Structure 1
């Protein structure tokens, strides 16, 4: 058998190595915990770049984008942590009381938790894909999950499937540690890009319903920054 570096097998193996490096860098940059936000923004920024140009150096691109996304993503992640901590504390407090008022407050807190979770799902990919103000990025992240609700359900289904496989399939845990985060981000990036494209088409009046404006897109919404220089 003749060695052929261009064969599908070697191309797939090379791709696995590239995504292993990306996955390793992501895991390492998440270790301080407070840097999870910048790491997530950089991960999606990198896989978006890969979708635009498959020849991009994933490891080097991730490092560049981690530095670029760090300040805003760090602040955003701190806000998410504060909101999550507040909701968890309130849930524990009202659940412990066990009063009639608690039965009114608890559903509101659960709804707030869901809102924070789906906003977190979209925030860092939106930051990674678009140049925008901090305020408008938050506005988009709050509105977009409901504007493209079908795709939001797909994203959540991917997360649930990944968690289920990780918990109940022992051998996949090793594979997940080696490649899981980067491959999961790539799979979800395809859904995010479809969602972003849908919103942009609506904003250009191409949704087929005669709409000429999009309430989910801020006025200073700019083009994607997938080709970062």
Structure 2
């Protein structure tokens, strides 16, 4: 019985990890409430998740707030720029979908390619900001390079994101379930899962 509650027990370590992710998810949601700060909150989320994955066992609150404060300005600028870019793409889709010609059909395909590229960059850029010290311009370049250079990882993360978005559109029950799980631990679990890929990628650029 004592071994069951021993912290070195794999079961206890798993339970502890889940608890950490629940707490981390709560911090992410709270710091994302103003919406405009969601970029900084995302960078802090990935910062802590990578530490958890590497077994550094950080103090969740201290490390989350540290990363949030340090990356607030840069991550907020990036977040706003991405929101504007997605908004412009949304307007383009609205205009093109109202037309029914061969030319607009080609433009629609091109827009989907641009959307996929932009979404791929958005998957990488906040983890990049949280892990490396570089300018905003360089962060975009690094995120784009990694998204292309590690295409299999990018494809898997895009597929996971696509499945989650699809589940939200299947039925109201599934949508409600996704929202509930997201409110408990969904965001941190997804970030932790993605950090499995980011850990392998980032190690290639870290000083030996």
Please tell me the TM-score bracket, short chain as reference.
0.7 to 0.9
Contact 2:121 2:144 in 1 (8 A): yes
Contact 2:25 2:187 in 1 (8 A): yes
The match for 1:218 is: none
The match for 2:153 is: 151
- For the aligned residues, what is the CA RMSD? 2.6
Aligned residue among 129, 132, 136 for 1:130: 132
Structure with greater proportional helix content: 2
The match for 1:61 is: 63
Unaligned runs of 5+ in 1: 201-221, 225-229
* Distance of aligned partners of 1:53 and 1:126 in 2 relative to their CA distance in 1, 3 Å threshold: same
> TM-score under structure 1 normalisation?
0.77
Between the aligned partners of 2:57 and 2:106, the Cα distance in structure 1 is 54
Between the aligned partners of 2:34 and 2:179, the Cα distance in structure 1 is 22
Q: Give the Å deviation of 1:138.
A: 0.9
Between the aligned partners of 2:134 and 2:159, the Cα distance in structure 1 is 28
Contact 2:128 2:139 in 1 (8 A): yes
Which residues in structure 2 correspond to 1:46-57 (within 5 Å)? 46-57=48-59
* Distance of aligned partners of 1:99 and 1:169 in 2 relative to their CA distance in 1, 3 Å threshold: closer
The match for 2:5 is: 4
* Distance of aligned partners of 1:99 and 1:154 in 2 relative to their CA distance in 1, 3 Å threshold: closer
Number of residue pairs the alignment of both structures matches: 202
Q: Give the Å deviation of 1:162.
A: 4.4
The match for 1:107 is: 109
Between the aligned partners of 1:185 and 1:38, the Cα distance in structure 2 is 14
* Distance of aligned partners of 1:193 and 1:4 in 2 relative to their CA distance in 1, 3 Å threshold: closer
Unaligned runs of 5+ in 2: none
The superposition leaves residues 103-161 of structure 1 with CA deviations (integer Å, 9 ceiling, x where unpaired) of 23222222111111111111111111111121111111122211111111121233234
> TM-score under structure 2 normalisation?
0.84
Which residues in structure 2 correspond to 1:189-228 (within 5 Å)? 189-198=195-204, 200=205, 223=207
Contact 1:130 1:223 in 2 (8 A): no
Between the aligned partners of 2:54 and 2:20, the Cα distance in structure 1 is 16
Between the aligned partners of 1:181 and 1:142, the Cα distance in structure 2 is 23
* Distance of aligned partners of 1:21 and 1:136 in 2 relative to their CA distance in 1, 3 Å threshold: same
